[in-house]
Structures are given as C-alpha cells and as structure tokens.
Structure 1
Amino acid sequence: MYFPLKYLIKWNYLSVVHVFILIFDIHIILGAVQVFYSCINGLDISLTVTGSFRHSGIFSIYLASFLPIRLNMTKSKLDSIFSWNIFVLLLVLLLVLSTHSRTGLFLYIINLIFLFYTYIRSFYFKSSYKAILLTMTIIFSTVLITTLIYLKIPSALGRLFIWQNSFEMFCQKPIFGWGFGGFEKSYLNQQAIYFKNNLSSDSYKYKIVAEGVSSPFNEYLKILVEYGIIGVVCLTIAFKIIWKFSRNIRNKKEYSFLSP
C-alpha cells in the first residue's frame, strides 16, 4: 500500500481522499444490502449489519467518524436540500440506528453539530433567548448521555469489565505486548483468571459478556495490549506524520516521509 499511496500523494493528494471515500460509499451500499437481507430473512439487524467488519458497533463508529469527510468533499457541488449529502446523512443514520451502537449514535450527533456549527452559531447569536437555548442545550445533552448509558446498562458494565481485564493483560507484557492477534487469543484466559479469583456474586453480572470477546472495543487499548509501549510509540509517530502531511498540504508543499 505504501508505494501506490506515495504515488497518488505525489500526483494528486486529493486522489487519496477519493480512494477512501469510494471505500466508504461501498460500505454504505454493503450495509444497506445487509439491512435488506436481514429484514427479509428475519435476522437480528443489530448483529448482521457489520459492513466488512466483524462487529456492528465498529462498523457504526466507522460510518459516523468518516461522515464529515464524505460530506465535505461534495458540499460545494451539491447544495440542494434533496442532494446526495442529505441522502447520505439519512442512510448513515439508518445504518447507525440499525446497529444499536450507542457510541456510533453519539458520534453521529456530534458530527451533525460539527457540520452545521456555522448555522447553529448564527442562530444562537441572532436569537433573543440565548439563556433559554443554552439551558435547553445542557438539558438535552444530559438527557442524551444518560439515555445512552442506561439504554444498555449491562453492555456498559461489560465494556468496563473488558477494559479492566485488557489493562491487566497490558500490565503482564507492557513493552512488546501480546503480538498480532494476541488479544483475541489470550483474552478469554485472562477473563477466566478473573472469575477464578473473584467468586463473589457481583462477578456473575459480567458473565453476560463472558463469551465471544474478540475486541476490547477500544482501538488504542487494543494496540496497547497487542503491541505494548513500542506500539503506542509507533502510533504516535504515525499521527505526527499525518499531522505533518496535512500541514504541508495547507502550505502547498510537496510531501515526503523523509523531509524534516
């Protein structure tokens, strides 16, 4: 992937963005097909709408996270309210809701605020009821966060339980981690150790999430577990390269991984 992307960046950096947008559009179509297939076959949509990912929650987060980039590339071309942008917004919302992912829905709402921030800000400063609007915003935000937490309280507790065990795995091999795929191979053993050492009645509430755990539901934590501190350092360097790349684009300079 390095050389094709390097060539595309040198030829036209926007072409790289278009490649990822094409992948995003394919995922939207794939997700819509999975929704239709699940409906006509009576399957649980929240489990079957996964795109090319193995987990519906991860798929939902991917859609919500990439949405601003997708819309930003077409906002200057299609300004009608019935444009492709509106269609993408509604379709992604449908897919996010179908996955029952709280994180995906939260990210979707945050991105909506980000996308329409200019209009929201203008409306707020032109309004004569700023205090009322601010109070309503605080109340809405509190109700939304509370609802998302208590909507699936066993899942929320299970997520914290998985994070706790994942951190224990990191502490066992903090430098180099457990290696590629190490989380999926070793997590259940770590979980079994927890249940063996904690036989109280409180531990049984976590057994609802005790099977089929293949991800810690946190990519940074997964990197920490599988690649240790070395992996985190490499990730930091990668973020620095991406930031440098974006800075050079703004300054209209030719980008190089080796430039100072």
Structure 2
Amino acid sequence: MRDKFKIKSVYTMLMVILMGFVLVESNYWYLLSILVCSSDTRYVIWGTLIILTVIAQKLKIRKTYIFVPWLFYIAMILFRNQEFAHGRYSNTERLILCITMVFVCAYKSDWVKKIPKMIVAIGIPNVIATLVFLVNDSLYKVFISRTYGEYQSGTEYGKYGYRAALADHYSQNATYISMVVLALFVLFLTEERRKKKFFWGVLLGASVIALLLTSKRAHLLFCVAAAIIVYYLAYPQKRLEKTFKLVIAGAVIAFGLALVSEYIPQINNVFERFQTAGTDKETLGRFIMWNYAFELFKQNPLFGTGWWGFRYSGITNIRADALTGCHNVYIEILSNCGIVGFVIFIIALISALYITMKNIKFCIDNELESYKMVVLCSAVIQAFCLMYCMTGNVMFDRTFHFYIIAVVMSVSFYLNKENIAYMEEEKKDYV
C-alpha cells in the first residue's frame, strides 16, 4: 500500500513538473533560447519528463477510445510532412511532444487542481512587464539591449515597447496575457472566500488592462466571448437572472474602463483598431493568405500538400509574414491535409469539447466544487483557442501548448471522474 502511494505521489509530482515546464516553455520560449538553452535541449528535457511519467505509471498507457483521435492527429502531422522534406524537424517535434502528453495524463488526477493557478503564476510576469514597461520605457530599453538586441514586431521600433513586453512579438504577448486573464476569470468565478475573490479580482483587473495595452483586438474579443460562454456553462440554471447580472457587469466594466482610460489613454488604441477591421493592412494581408491556401487546397483536395505545406509553398515570396502561418487554422489544415486531414482535425477538437462538456455536467451534478474550477478553466481556454483559430495560428505556434494543456486537464479528469467523486464524498462524510 505504501509503495503504491509512493508511485502515485511520484507520478503526481512529475505531472506537475511536466505541466510547469511546458507552461514556462510556452510563455518564454524565445527568451529561453537567447538566455538559457536551445530548443533541442528543451525538447530533450520535455521528452525525458514524459518518459519518466510513463515509468511512474508502471509503463502502462490506458486503453481508451479518447486517445484514438489524437493518434490519428499525429499520423496526420507525419503524413507527407513538408518540414521533414526540407530537412527540418523542430516544429513537428514540438507538436508531437504536446500531443504525447494526452496519453500519459490518465493515471491519476489530483494534480489537475494545481494547473489553473500555475497558468497564472507562470504567466503573470508578462502582465507585470507590460505594465512596468508602460510606466518606465527606459527599463524596456535596457531589457531589449540585454536580450533581443532589436525591437519586437508590433512595437513600432520600440515606440510602444510595452505591447510586446517580454515576448518576441506583440501578438504572442497578447496570447500569454489572455491565458492569464482566462484562468483568473475562472478562479474569480468559482472562488467563494471573499478575501481570495478580491485578490483574484485585482489580478484579473490588472491583467485585463495589460491585455488592452497590447492593442490586440482579436484576443480581447475572443477572451470576452469565451468568458461569457463559460459563465453560462457554469450556471445553467436561472439564465435570465444570469443574463441580467452579465449586463450589469458589462456596464460596470465599461464604466471602469472609461475611468481608467483617463489615466492610461494607451488602452484606447485597441478600440480604435476595431474601427479599421476589414480594411487595415493586417486584415487585407490575411485575405491574400486565405485565398492562396484555398488555391493550394483545390490542387489536392483529398490529402492536401502535407503538414506545413502552406509555409513551404512559395507564399513567403508574396507575404513574408506567411512564414508563421495562414492566420486561419481551419483553412490552413484544409490546405495542408485536405478533406481527410480536416475531418481528423475536427473530430479531435469535437472529442475534446464533448468530454469537457460532460465534465462540467458531472461536476455540477455531483457538487465537485474543487474540480469545477479545473473543468471550467479547460473549457474557457479551449473556447478561446477554437475562436482564435479563425484569425491566428493556434494549432501551429505556442498557443497550441496552452490548448493541449486544457485538453490534458479535461481528459485526466474524465478518465478518473468516478474515483474523484467517490473520494470527494468520502471527505464530506469524514467531515
């Protein structure tokens, strides 16, 4: 019995370390490459942690239909992989490492309760840096001189350095802050203790201001939409009452932002950018890439050009920023993998959403308040990522790391939910 407990404790510790490592790698990957170690070294550490978790669960991988879509997902990535064809491997290796975590998460689930707070703790330096660099531009200049050596994209050659803060691109900074905002929203929503709720609320307010300062309209829009969706999922009863509260909260937030903008006028930039949506150069550039991707899809509609095919197709001769992707995951998957790959992709996404919805209902029905935070955090991140897929490169860049962590949390809970409910009931009886 003691040996079994020891094995489970080691497994729990390893899963926490693995999730923490991936979160650090996700938030600060470019800085890590400059200051600490290369991608190859980090991926070796990552793979080693995954292997150790398998050893901790006695070299057993749970047999479940939930894993099937992700096995096909890996096959889709490897089939006619254009990164391999061009002598490279790093991005493919990274994505496969992400997906592999799904297969090692099912042995035990007590670790999942730590993840929402870990997302906040590891990502909050991005919020702090954004606010600090707004106040102290000279500190930003020192940071740049000692790290990147050049101003990041989106900062207009350092004029708005706070937009990118610690990240290599202002869009990446907005993504990292969005994850913190979403996790804090769930922590605030589910917290019952007043002091803790106030603490989460203060952090949430600061993080929302930081998100506004990045001037990224898509991130703001999708954060709001994801939060509203999860708010209704969390409280399915009395929807009319909840809608009224939501409207009141929206009015209070709008009033608060109006006051804050008097002291921090830079947050108005994001709202000004909404006025140019559809006509600015960023949007027009996306239209060019989407049309190009559709043309590639027509050339091979069944299987596509192969994973990463869009980026190696010559599009960069037309749009240099296409190197990072099509800026619409759904269209790029069609281009890369054709109808067959697109179906695999959609099945994987829907399967993850399905078990997440089941988890939320299970937590509500069984009054598992301590785990409700976990499943709602998973849901809000998945909702954000699936919406952001329409304008970003979620399934190809580091945003995928956050998405897969959300999936892993959901899968782990789902496969152990009956045991979780039993243990929670035992605790109630004991008390």
Per the normalisation by structure 1, the TM-score is 0.62
**Does 1:179 pair with 2:306?**
yes
Task: Quote the Cα distance in structure 2 between the aligned partners of 1:33 and 1:146.
Answer: 23
**Does 1:212 pair with 2:212?**
no
1:17 offset after TM fit, Å? 6.2
The 1:183/1:16 distance shift into structure 2, 3 A limit, reads farther
- The residue type equivalent to 2:294 in the other structure is F
Q: Is the 8 A contact 1:93 1:108 kept in 2?
A: no
Q: Determine the structure 1 residue equivalent to 2:347.
A: 237
Matched positions, count: 217
Task: Quote the Cα distance in structure 2 between the aligned partners of 1:6 and 1:21.
Answer: 23
Task: Quote the Cα distance in structure 2 between the aligned partners of 1:73 and 1:231.
Answer: 36
> How much is the aligned-residue C-alpha RMSD, in angstroms?
4.1
**Does 1:224 pair with 2:334?**
yes
Q: Determine the structure 1 residue equivalent to 2:293.
A: 166
Percent identity between the two aligned chains: 18
1:34 offset after TM fit, Å? 6.2
Q: Determine the structure 2 residue equivalent to 1:29.
A: 125
Which has the higher relative contact order, 1 or 2, with Cα contacts under 8 A spaced 6 or more apart? 2
1:111 offset after TM fit, Å? 4.7
| Residues 89-127 of structure 1: per-residue CA shift (max 9 Å, x gap) | 2333233223221111222343565577766514869xx
Q: Is the 8 A contact 2:180 2:207 kept in 1?
A: no
Q: Determine the structure 2 residue equivalent to 1:107.
A: 222
More deviation, 162-171/54-63: 54-63
Task: Quote the Cα distance in structure 1 between the aligned partners of 2:287 and 2:330.
Answer: 15
> What SS class does the counterpart of residue 335 from structure 2 fall into?
helix
Q: Determine the structure 1 residue equivalent to 2:205.
A: 90
Q: Is the 8 A contact 1:175 1:229 kept in 2?
A: yes
Task: Quote the Cα distance in structure 2 between the aligned partners of 1:242 and 1:112.
Answer: 18
Q: Determine the structure 1 residue equivalent to 2:276.
A: 150
**Does 1:60 pair with 2:156?**
no
Q: Is the 8 A contact 1:165 1:190 kept in 2?
A: no
Q: Determine the structure 2 residue equivalent to 1:200.
A: none
Alignment counterpart, residue 191 of structure 2, candidates 76, 101, 125: 76
Q: Is the 8 A contact 1:68 1:115 kept in 2?
A: no
Unaligned runs of 5+ in 1: 126-143, 192-209
The 1:235/1:24 distance shift into structure 2, 3 A limit, reads farther
Q: Is the 8 A contact 1:170 1:177 kept in 2?
A: yes
> What SS class does the counterpart of residue 415 from structure 2 fall into?
coil
Per the normalisation by structure 2, the TM-score is 0.40
Alignment counterpart, residue 255 of structure 1, candidates 415, 418, 427: 415
The 1:174/1:113 distance shift into structure 2, 3 A limit, reads same
1:26 offset after TM fit, Å? 1.8
Unaligned runs of 5+ in 2: 1-49, 51-98, 142-157, 233-240, 249-269, 364-412, 417-431
Q: Determine the structure 1 residue equivalent to 2:89.
A: none
The 1:65/1:19 distance shift into structure 2, 3 A limit, reads closer
- The residue type equivalent to 2:320 in the other structure is E
Structure 1 stretches of 4+ moved >6 Å: none
Q: Determine the structure 1 residue equivalent to 2:164.
A: 48
